[in-house]
Structure 1
Amino acid sequence: MSLRTVLILALALVAALPQAPAIAQGRGGTVSAEDWQTYKAKFVDAGGRIIDDGNGGISHSEGQGYGLLLAVLADNAADFELIWSFTRRELLLRDDGLAAWKWSPAEKPHVIDVNNATDGDILIAYALTLAGEHWRRQDYLAAAAKIAPAILDRAVIDYGGRTLLLPGVAGFSAADRDDGPVINPSYWIFEAFPVLNRVAPSPKWESLRDDGESMLDALQLGPRKMPADWVSARTRLKAAQGFPAEFGYNALRIPLYLVRAGSDDAELLSRLRLGMLGSNGDLLISDVATGTVRAALTDPGYQFVNHILACVLERVPLPDSVKVFSPTQYYPSTLHLLGLSYAKEKRPECL
């Protein structure tokens, strides 16, 4: 897509927008100013870099995408621009329009892996679209209208009758691996697909949604019947070679993504909840072959995933322990804010 075409599309989108539309059908301000400032103070540096303090203090496209999304949900235009400036300057270096995924403050040059991470690209483009629509920013829409088609062109494939999302352009395809294509089910950010369709119209977004949901229905591995973080889609779906065969830190966000996207698949949500529910709402990391528990996660951000499922499925209100946001580490704190935002917007009875 040429720059001229992108600009024309973005201008048309802006012209068609009503004045100050609600963010994502009402999500503007669903992250409170207080919670956002608390998150920002711990995880956003003065230059707009999201700091993954649980991963050696690095930054990555996923984190920048989450930061952008949370800034939109907090209705904070200045902080969105700050995070976007870092993302644009430091990560959008590839020729294909996607973001380099890994940035380290300790290395020179700071980008230490130029491969993309497709969930990061999706989050960035999704947040840019929401921001452009809400704040009537043509430049944000134009940026989203460059990234979203690049995702479709470079990271979305048809294989074995399914539309699949490669985790990265390099290293995951059938040509790259004996068990390829390898996918990561948690990279399906279902709520983003209809939004990205507004800046890069394509039937592939709907196919990604439909095939992602059917894939999760089919991914019932081991005695707990759970999806693995990394999955070979070469023949039947199974845990990929060379990765821990576990329902782990990647896959644990799948239920949150499903409920945020409005999933009404009670059977799938119930199965996921049963497989990861520990005592007191702890979230269980488990071996997908044996069902053996590898860790019981007690952070409120992780526990929130189990508790929001209990509310969605059984109308059990959230316990006080997860109603109040207090940042711990980048990843669970991010999930916690995304979950609270959803509850405030769609499930006030849970609070």
Structure 2
Amino acid sequence: MRRWWRQACRLLGLIVLLMSPLSAAAAVPSAWLQFWSAYQQHFIDPQGRVIDWVEGGITTSEGQSYALFFALVSNEPQTFARILSWTQKNLAQGNLAQNLPIWRWGKQDDGQWGPLSGNHAADSDLWIAYDLLQAGRLWNNEHYTQMGRSLAQQIAAQEILPMKGAGPMLIPGEKYFRFGASLVINPSYLPPFLLASLADALPDGPWREMSKYLPRVIAKTSPHGFSPDWISYSPDRGYFPAPQGVEGRYNAIRVYLWAGMTNPDTPGAKAVLDSLWGMALYMKTHDLPPLQENYQSGLVQGTGPSGFSAALLPFLVQYKMPEAAKVQLARLEAERSPATGLYGYPPVHYYNQNLALFGLGWYNGAYRFSPHGNLRPSWDRLSASPAGFRPVTDPLSRHG
């Protein structure tokens, strides 16, 4: 079965080979723009609300934060403004400069539509702050810059907890993540490029120290080269299993995605990537990524959805595994719906599409990040060319 699948993927790979970041980069972003357009038609309403249809039509701050990023990558200031306006009005009491956004909005028990939780999702808060700062820089919009700075300062004041031995840590949400001296953290909440950018934009904040500690956090929480979704930390015990379990699944896949997307010249980028050697070794002997991994034992189970394949594209490029990347591209092409332009089998979930937008966008050259974490979209004349990104030096050599 594996041989048949690999042969089929290689045949399909011929079809999608032109999508390689080493081929005509100028034409590649148009394919990504078509995908982004299909995403907007399916998931974003005219008000700028990103809808998770699989979860009953809810909206999350995560979905809004990612949509803002993709609107910036595609150079769509009106789309960005519409998504931002809905986010402010409905998730942040009308003012992101003064209020952290709630994380979940939808149909309430009484049939009305509104907030479903007063809790916050710290990773989405970080992404929104980053989006605003980058939009202010790229579009020369001081209003966005000041809003992004204010939001980042709120996060620093309300969602960062100094932890002895681990540096400042991001509290995932207002509730359910602190137990005495212990804090439950999520490694996927900390993209290296995002921390680097915030450190550059707000040097007086905790971001530079967080960025400095991040390689150690990833290394300590990935003893077998696989990242967990959640893990606990206390100064006395160090890192230990979180109440949510020891598996890495839909959260952890983003750790590999962010590591692959990060500029190799970003401080700590190589150390983060090197700590995730378990996934790279697995992909050397398997066609498709696993659905979940046990970070304590290194045991893996199942096969992840197409979004996982897309998420690993930058990671595989950085690990100098082009053949494995082609297999993932072929899988995506095989699971793409001509009717919708989206990836995967029904029901089509917005999160899977977000992973694909990130992975394919980076792979196809729609955007890159500078060593300081600033966004370099393909439409910006100062952006680096896709070929300008080199892979790290054989990270697997020390792991056999």
TM-score range, shorter chain: 0.7 to 0.9
Cα drift, residue 270 of structure 1: 2.4
**Counterparts in 2 of 1:261-276, with a 5 A limit?**
261-262=262-263, 263-265=269-271, 266-274=273-281
CA distance in 2, matches of 1:312, 1:164: 27
The one-letter code sitting in structure 2 at the alignment partner of 1:208 is M
Residue in 2 that maps onto 1:230: 230
Q: Judge conservation of contact 2:280–2:319 (CA < 8 Å) in 1.
A: no
Residue in 2 that maps onto 1:149: 153
CA distance in 1, matches of 2:49, 2:285: 34
* Partner residue of 1:280 out of 284, 287, 309: 287
CA offsets, 1:33-57, max 9 Å, x none? Answer: 3222111111111211111234333
**Counterparts in 2 of 1:15-94, with a 5 A limit?**
32-93=32-93
Q: 1:109–1:310: structure 2 CA closer, same or farther, 3 Å change rule?
A: closer
Q: Which runs of 5+ in 2 are unaligned?
A: 1-28, 264-268, 344-348, 369-385, 391-400
* Larger relative contact order (Cα-Cα within 8 Å, sequence gap ≥ 6): 2
Q: Judge conservation of contact 2:161–2:171 (CA < 8 Å) in 1.
A: yes
* Partner residue of 2:175 out of 162, 166, 170: 170
Cα drift, residue 264 of structure 1: 2.3
Greater alpha carbon shift after TM alignment, 268-277 vs 245-254: 268-277
Q: 1:284–1:169: structure 2 CA closer, same or farther, 3 Å change rule?
A: same
Q: Judge conservation of contact 1:118–1:167 (CA < 8 Å) in 2.
A: yes
Q: Judge conservation of contact 1:163–1:208 (CA < 8 Å) in 2.
A: yes
* Partner residue of 2:312 out of 306, 324, 341: 306
* Partner residue of 1:195 out of 194, 197, 207: 197
CA distance in 2, matches of 1:280, 1:83: 37
TM-score scaled by length of structure 2: 0.71
* RMSD value, Cα: 2.7
* Partner residue of 1:333 out of 336, 353, 357: 353
Q: Determine helix, strand or coil for the equivalent of 1:297.
A: coil
Residue in 2 that maps onto 1:321: 330
Q: 1:209–1:277: structure 2 CA closer, same or farther, 3 Å change rule?
A: farther
The one-letter code sitting in structure 2 at the alignment partner of 1:184 is N
Q: 1:105–1:277: structure 2 CA closer, same or farther, 3 Å change rule?
A: farther
Q: Judge conservation of contact 1:44–1:50 (CA < 8 Å) in 2.
A: yes
Cα drift, residue 306 of structure 1: 3.1
Q: Judge conservation of contact 1:193–1:206 (CA < 8 Å) in 2.
A: yes
Q: Determine helix, strand or coil for the equivalent of 1:113.
A: coil
Residue in 2 that maps onto 1:205: 207
Q: Determine helix, strand or coil for the equivalent of 1:181.
A: strand
CA offsets, 1:20-76, max 9 Å, x none? Answer: xxxxxxxxx698432221111111112111112343331111111001001101111
Q: Which runs of 5+ in 1 are unaligned?
A: 1-28
CA distance in 1, matches of 2:313, 2:192: 20
The one-letter code sitting in structure 2 at the alignment partner of 1:311 is V
Q: 1:66–1:89: structure 2 CA closer, same or farther, 3 Å change rule?
A: same
CA distance in 1, matches of 2:285, 2:253: 13
Match status 1:111 vs 2:115: yes
Residue in 2 that maps onto 1:8: none
TM-score scaled by length of structure 1: 0.81
Q: Determine helix, strand or coil for the equivalent of 2:287.
A: helix
The one-letter code sitting in structure 1 at the alignment partner of 2:260 is V
Greater alpha carbon shift after TM alignment, 43-52 vs 271-280: 271-280
* Partner residue of 1:239 out of 234, 237, 241: 241
Q: 1:132–1:203: structure 2 CA closer, same or farther, 3 Å change rule?
A: closer
Greater alpha carbon shift after TM alignment, 65-74 vs 151-160: 151-160
